[in-house]
Structure 1
Amino acid sequence: MKRRSVIGPAALAMATALLFGAATAAQEEEPSPGLQQLGNDLFAELLFNNQGTGFAIACSVCHAIGESVPGKPERYYADHTPTSLTANRETTERNAQTLADASRAEVFGWDGAYDSMEDMILDKLVGKQYGWSDEDRDAGMDNATYVLLNEGHNAISGVPYLDQFQEVYGLDLESLPRPEVAAAAARALADYTRTLSYTMTARWDAFAEQNRFRKQPNDGEDMLNYAASIESRIFNQEGRNLIRRPEGFTETAYEGFKTFFRAFDVESVGNCVRCHVPPTFSDYALHGTGAGDFKTPPLRNLARTDPYLHDGSAATLEDAIRAHMALAEAADSEQEGVDPLFGEINISDADIEPLVLFLQMLEEVGPDNFRHYLINFE
């Protein structure tokens, strides 16, 4: 697959090399207050878009967090709509995925079109998402440079971008060539995105701790082996009547958990864990759907990231599960472009409610509330 690049390879490589050392240091340590502030400012910046469109776009518009829109459900770095609007008020082709732990992926975008998060972000800043046509990309680059150098500061922190980049990366933006200024913004946004992670505080996490289920496979472990280890642990715990379920983790949700992890049987075989790998419940790999190859989405906090699938066509979890049941049939009939792994799903209508209830057990409650589920059981 051809990867997208928005500036010449040499310029992008030079810009990346210039910033790489500082960026690596920022990733390996706890994010600094300076990076958090710079990231927050850039994430909410409304001036990168083509001002001639009359419609303001920022990262935070499509990747909303919390109750960002009055009267709308809480979001978790996701949009409220099946597909997002560009600055030109055109509809995109893809649903805005959550950004939590997005840096775990090796390729980026639903279709894996980008080799790096930086390249993907830069493509958004100076491309169609922000109202710049293919012919206008140079103008988009000039605009991003102007905003960073001349607009002074974002309204959130009130601190000039020039000062922020100097503090966080030791970069003098005014001395950089134009492509490197825009690349610096993409690098800072990528580093900020790398700080966005799941809290691992769902009832599933409490359930796994209480019953000593391995919460993720070992490095390099085959997923069938991991699934087998979970099934073995279930058999052991049930045989001694030792299964403990945190408050709200119902018997039906428990049945859904078993279906989700089950890879060996003749019925109620979700085989979900083959692609939706803990702890984030994604392998971040591309799988054929018959409509293209798309990356496995993570499954935590689904109540705050609906609608689902690459095009937002599944309004509910039940819709998403039924879409996978249809893919299982397509794989069984060897439909072109459908990953054979889908053919290993063998579930019926009776399995849908338990699976939905289990997926709801992946909703995180935050560190302060997590202890409640560790000590209160059904």
Structure 2
Amino acid sequence: MIRICTSIWPCFIGIIALATGALIGSETKPNKSPEKSIEQKTKIHRLDTQERAPYDAFTYLNRIPAKADEDEDIVDFTARVYSRLANQEGRILIKLPQGMTREAYLGYKIFLSTDAKVSNGNCVTCHAPDKFTDLKLHKLNGDSPPRPTPSLRNLAKRKVDLAKALQAKLAAAKSPNAPKAYRNIHLNKMDLTHLESFLKQLNDVDDKAFRELILNAKILNTLLD
């Protein structure tokens, strides 16, 4: 007979040690790999935003502030953006991400405009970037109950008819009981087309498509506008 242990007690200790080691090993979970940064996911350097719409590619390309600073009035914010746009336009450095058109760019400027006599969307007053909502309650007219401002991002997913929605806004602006923000809306048919083009830039794309938007950007010459 083959002798395995010289005594029962050492063998018993060895069995316990082996069993304990196996148990500990079975409970040990492998370390999770660290979550990739925004830059690693999109392969775009110094990308701060988590948003993934063509509009966000546009603001990244042109170094436009994503939103108002804390305690910054929305009018001051739009003035700051307009100053940046004017600087870029003057040097013919406005960059449009792939798929963003001149009409969409003009729509963006109409969206930001708060005090012009023409082509004044005044949209930014309630639909402030970067979420495109001020998270407040507003009355559409004097008789209606206050409603929360909806975000304008990803309207395509919500199947919003943009042309119809813009026409409804324009009709509300002409109402005798329209709130001040609506009374400041001054738009013509072409302005509505431009605004619609811009709002389509607020629909999200995936990381790969977002990267392509930036890599395939083109310069827009606005000197003839």
Q: Same fold (TM over 0.5)?
A: yes
What does residue 184 of structure 2 align with? 344
Which residue does the alignment assign to 1:238?
A: 89
> What is the rounded CA distance, in whole Å, between the counterparts of 2:199 and 2:68 in structure 1?
19
Give, in angstroms, the shift of residue 236 of structure 1.
1.1
Q: Report deviation, 1:329.
A: 1.2
State the 1:368 CA deviation. 3.0
Tell me, yes or no, if structure 1 residue 356 matches structure 2 residue 196. yes
Report the CA distance between 1:306 and its aligned residue.
Answer: 2.3
Classify the secondary structure of the residue corresponding to 1:302: coil
Aligned Cα root-mean-square deviation (Å): 1.5
Give the greater-gyration-radius structure (CA): 2
1:294 and 2:147 equivalent? yes
- AA in 2 matched with 1:370: F
Unaligned runs of 5+ in 2: 1-48, 219-225
Q: Which residue matches 2:70?
A: 219
User: What CA distance in whole angstroms lies between the structure 2 residues aligned with 1:276 and 1:373?
Assistant: 24
Structure possessing the higher relative contact order (Cα contacts under 8 Å, 6 or more residues apart): 2
TM-score, normalisation: structure 2: 0.71
Percent identical pairs in the alignment equals 36
**Partner residue, 1:144:** none
Letter of the structure 2 residue corresponding to residue 215 of structure 1? A
By how many angstroms is 1:231 displaced? 1.3
Tell me if structure 1 keeps the 8 A contact 2:115–2:184.
Answer: no
Query: Which runs of structure 2 are paired with 1:41-60 in the superposition (5 Å)?
Result: none
Report the TM-score when normalising by structure 1.
0.43
TM superposition shift of 1:216: 0.7
Q: How does 1:279-358 map to 2 (within 5 A)?
A: 279-290=130-141, 291-307=144-160, 316-330=161-175, 333=176, 335=177, 338-358=178-198
For structure 1, which runs of at least 5 residues remain unmatched after alignment?
1-197, 308-315
Of the candidates 107, 110, 124, which is equivalent to residue 256 of structure 1?
Answer: 107
Large movers: runs of 4+ above 6 Å: none
Deviations 1:17-74 (A, max 9, x none): xxxxxxxxxxxxxxxxxxxxxxxxxxxxxxxxxxxxxxxxxxxxxxxxxxxxxxxxxx
Distance 1:324 1:236 in 2: 32
Structure 1 SS opposite 2:147:
strand
What per-residue deviation string (whole Å, max 9, x for no partner) do you get for residues 70-117 of structure 1? Answer: xxxxxxxxxxxxxxxxxxxxxxxxxxxxxxxxxxxxxxxxxxxxxxxx
Residues 268-319 of structure 1: CA deviation (Å, up to 9, x unaligned): 0111111101111000111111222111100111111124xxxxxxxx1011
Contact 2:98-2:217 within 8 A present in 1 as well: yes
Q: Is the 8 A contact 1:231 1:262 kept in 2?
A: no
Number of aligned pairs?
168
